[in-house]
Amino acid sequence: MARLYFSVSRFRASLEAAFLSSLLTLISMTAMVGASETSHALSGINSRHLDLLNTHCKSCHNEKKSKGKFRIDELSLTIQTTNDAERWQKVLNALNAGEMPPEDEEQVPPLEKADLVDDLGLAMVTLRKKMSDRHGAIAMSRLNRREYRNTLRELLGVEINVSQLPPDHGLGNYDTSGSSLYISSNQIESYLELGREAVEEAIDRYLARGVTVKHRHEGEELTKKYRAHFKKWDASTKWRSELAKAGVQTVNEKIYKSLKTKHPSRQDKHLPFYLHFDEISGAPAVPNDSAFRFFDNPTRVDQFISASAPNHSYLKRYLNLPKIEQGAFITIPTIHPNQLPTGYVEYHLPPGWPPGKYKVRFRVARADNAPEDRRFLEFGLRVRNVDLLSAHEVTGTMEDPQIIETSLEITRKHSLGENRDERQIYLREKGMHHQFHYPRKVFAETKKRNGYGPEYVFWIDWLEVERVTTEDQPLPEGMQAVVQLLNSEKLVEERSDEGLFIHQTDGIKAQKIRIINPDAGNNDFLHLREVQVMSGGKNIALRGTASQSSTHGNENERGAKSAIDGDMTSINHTSNMAESGEWWEVDLGREVLIDEVRIYNRNDSPTTESRLKNYILEILDSKGNPQGENYPRTTELVDCFQKFLTQVFRGQAVDQSFIDRLLNYYHNKRKVDGLKHREALTSTLAIVLSSPMFLYKSEFSLKDQQIISQQELAQRLSYFLWSAPADATLINLANTGKLSDSKVLRQQTNRLLEDARSTAMIHGLVHQWLDMERLDFFNVNLIKHRTYDNSVKMAVRDEVYQTSSFLLKENRSITELLSADYVVINSLLAQFYGIPDVEGDHFRRVALPKNSPRGGLLGMAAIHLMGGNGDESSPVERGAWVLRKLLHQPPPPAPANVPNLARLSDKVLTTRDRLKAHQELPQCASCHRKIDPIGFGLENFDAVGLWRTENSYENPGKDQEKKTWKIDSSGQIHRGPFFSNYFGLRDHIASQKDAFANSFTSAVIEYGMGRPIGFSDQTLINEIVKQSKDKNYTLRSFFHALIQHENFKQK
């Protein structure tokens, strides 16, 4: 059975039955195919191998003498049970460990032993696939983290951070494998929390969809910090100098000795005076200045001077730079940022800014004397935590600066979080902040070159942030149902001696308020207070011309205080709005959040109770009808839940009892827990978003049906190519019975592949197929590989995705991943690779010269980064990767007890000699003779993927012995051709098109079908490869071949 672990004890009793019912339904539909009991031949093992084992092992493992209770004569070439397979695994383990035969017995010849280990290892890999083969059956699976995030995006229009959910990998190689995707009880709380966060975020975004906020942070704010720093320096050095003069006076000789006795460990002869300056005769007074606040602890003076002194003369050069009154220059970090943030321009977004999409613009220039290799700025959040979002090439000059635009997503976490670092955005120079010692090294080298230190390269004029409105965009499908309830919130009227108060109970969507006073005098007027404006248009409209006064609040204050008539550019305003007359009509519009409305007289004193009784208050709903007493009505809740559930459960029918329990849950939250409408609604919808019907991609066709329904086909197709639910077009085609038509299905496949949402499939499939998670397994030695940094890491990862997306968009052959005369790069990668004449941050196709090592996967830095440890390259990792991913010849897993290469780390050897010493053991040679030649052929690429002709190794011990050698990349494929260098190896690999197509086909099937590849899939693989070969292996042909195949439409 599929594993479904739920704990429902934490939910209210009103929902327990619904959850249990859903679980029982799901469990009953998830019977899995059991392990096959069919006998299997041990592929590649024959009587020759048995004869070899009998010759060297039977004397100790026979009918009469069975050491370790193991008999060679009981080994069978036909595997019928797990015990049969385990007996062969014991043989392989003993051979790999070098335990058998014993040292005092005749040994198996090394070459014969290597062949036996090789053949048996491959046979056991094939056997495991056969025995675990599920014969094409697809296990029901939950949404993986990517699909869960994307599904919430399609439903609610929000992007949620799902990192708190556990990783998806388990038994399969892909995060779509149903057998690995189950739910444990401790995950339910995480799903509830994320569901609640998603609904809250969606409501906030809906309410703020018309809000425009904008702020420009001027670069010269950093110049002010420089001037304040130098002012503090002057005051500090002057105070310390005067104190030192007083300290050496004869009158202070006795106190000096006393202070030295109190602090015998102090090395600085002046420090006691800083600690007790007030005991020194003639000591200067402590400056009490905003630039020199150290009176609470005078030792800070010494700390400040000590931190600033080494680079003080360099920092003083800043004052002679051009345009520092209109902007600011940034350089590499030369002093602790608490003293002076020389390395970046920062801005903290004001708390309370609504969540949503923002545009970030910055006007920048590059100094005329800037070195060629310093051309890029980094943009991100939280400068101290290296939360890098993007890198940008700067081509503007001081005479003609450029404006760069990028995007930023602000969530409720940024808007409401108390940690201001969560709202900190920054600009800084690329590569200067990712390693502590690197800036010091750069400073020393540039000072040696030019006499003063690193050039001030980047001038920042301003940094601007502006929210993008979404009023004209259609609502996400799930929100269309919720909005109806947000529009029917109740307004409550309260009267007292202080005035008339109209409170909106949840502050969601206001209606029209009509206030009538037949006895109104000239001294009465309407005063709106505590009104938060949520629109960029005309927000408050009085009946006639209103007299008003307005005070614009500090833009950094939290939220709005009140509202103002007219066009608004900010949400932060306070105002008085008045109109004389016998009645007022206030149209609150559709984007205004009301906290309260009060009626005051002209003198701003409360209207008396007697006068107030004459007022008539009419509260109208969104359709202009008088508001009832019970909002929202039960019928409205039911309508909302039905529509929401239809979307959330991807068209599956919902039992009325489930809706009834949702209603009970909602009302209990209101009446028992005292929650407001919005809070209760959010909790109820969060329950839905953590329910099995949502979390599981269930296929509910009748049990005796082997073909899934068209609605299920729509969802399977969409989650395959988008990692997201089917859109309206797919659903409509499914509902009308047209989707299963071959022509229609092909058209829809092309449509989905051409949609931007297919990027999720490219990232998910390619990332897992190529094992790109290894990019995050280790830290690169940035001192040794100085041109590599986090921006480069982001770019080399994107190169793999962008190249794959280019092939998909142009429908080119996947064999171009083996060898190509072009690359898909941006200017940053072009600089890293040394490719000239490429400008701009966007990725594009760039032609290569004939002798370039780039082009295809083997020319990409990301691939070689994964084939190393961040310090040195690893021919073993690279060779094994090529066998697994490009040649479809995965080597057997390395035995756990085989000696590790690290045992040779103290020996100063070339890479070839190191691996040759490792291959002296036959059990090592069996794999390495296949792996190592390929790895040696890639040795011209260093640990970060840059081209080299020499390599070296240094003993990490105290002697630090070093050896340097010229790289020899020649070799011979095991049982294959010779190659003289990397280019010859690449040509050979590029000729293995069918093998590569088999590798990619296996990945597509496993990813798209949500199950591991089985032995019975070979026919399907062969069919897809043949169809794709007929179309020159074009990328889309693989997807079409699988989706058109009958297996894709089966359970």
Render pLDDT for 744-759 as a digit per residue (tens, 0 to 9).
999 999 999 999 999 9
**Angle ∠(251,256,259) on CA atoms, nearest 5:** 145
Tell which wins on pLDDT, 176 or 669.
669
Tell which wins on pLDDT, 939 or 349.
939
Phi then psi for residue 194, to 5 deg, are: -70, -40
User: DSSP character for 896?
Assistant: T
CA 338/CA 334 separation, integer angstroms:
12
Cα first-last separation, the chain: 15
User: DSSP character for 882?
Assistant: I
The confidence band for 226, taking pLDDT boundaries of 50, 70 and 90, is very high
CA 958/CA 647 separation, integer angstroms:
67
Task: Give residue 1017's pLDDT.
Answer: 81
Is residue 376 over pLDDT 90? yes
Strands 376-381, 78-79: pairing is: unpaired
CA 4/CA 30 separation, integer angstroms:
10
Task: Give residue 923's pLDDT.
Answer: 61
- Between the alpha carbon of residue 800 and those of residues 744, 774, 806, 824, the distances in Å are 31, 14, 10, 9
Helix axes of 759-769 and 993-1009: crossing angle, nearest 10 degrees: 120
Is residue 546 over pLDDT 90? no
Residues in the chain: 1051
> For 56-81, what is the mean pLDDT?
71
Which residues, in sequence order, are bridge partners of residue 492? 503
Listed in order, strand segments (DSSP E) in 759-847 are: 822-825, 844-847
Task: Give residue 699's pLDDT.
Answer: 64
User: DSSP character for 464?
Assistant: E
Is residue 994 over pLDDT 80? yes
Strands 950-954, 962-966: pairing is: antiparallel
Indicate the pTM of the whole model.
0.78
Q: For residues 194 and 181, is the Cβ–Cβ distance under 8 A?
A: no
- Between the alpha carbon of residue 81 and those of residues 39, 204, 918, the distances in Å are 8, 59, 36
Q: For residues 302 and 198, is the Cβ–Cβ distance under 8 A?
A: no
943-976 CB burial, b ≥16 within 10 A, e <16: bbbbeeeebebeeeeeeeeeeeeebbbebebbee
Which residues, in sequence order, are bridge partners of residue 328? 460
- Between the alpha carbon of residue 500 and those of residues 530, 574, 959, the distances in Å are 14, 20, 87
Show Cβ contacts of residue 559 under 8 Å, excluding neighbours closer than 6 positions. 352, 532, 571, 572
Place of tokens 């679980």: 23
Which residues, in sequence order, are bridge partners of residue 330? 458
Is residue 440 over pLDDT 90? no
Is residue 538 over pLDDT 50? no
Element (H, E) at 576: strand 573-578
The confidence band for 261, taking pLDDT boundaries of 50, 70 and 90, is low
The confidence band for 705, taking pLDDT boundaries of 50, 70 and 90, is low
CA 794/CA 84 separation, integer angstroms:
48
Is residue 831 over pLDDT 80? yes
Q: For residues 497 and 608, is the Cβ–Cβ distance under 8 A?
A: yes
> Which one-letter amino acid corresponds to residue 471?
E
Percentage above 70 pLDDT, the chain:
70
How many other C-beta atoms are found inside a 10 Å radius of the C-beta of residue 72? 20
Is residue 591 over pLDDT 90? no
Listed in order, strand segments (DSSP E) in 299-420 are: 328-330, 344-348, 356-366, 376-381, 387-393, 402-410
> Which one-letter amino acid corresponds to residue 791?
S
5-9, 33-37, 109-113: which is most confident = 109-113
> Which one-letter amino acid corresponds to residue 848?
L
Q: Domain 312-467, what architecture?
A: Sandwich (2.60)
- Mean pLDDT score of the chain: 77
Task: Give residue 327's pLDDT.
Answer: 96
Which of 221-235, 405-419, 721-735 is the least confident region? 405-419
CA 502/CA 1035 separation, integer angstroms:
62
> For 143-160, what is the mean pLDDT?
93
> For 513-524, what is the mean pLDDT?
46
Tell which wins on pLDDT, 783 or 847.
847
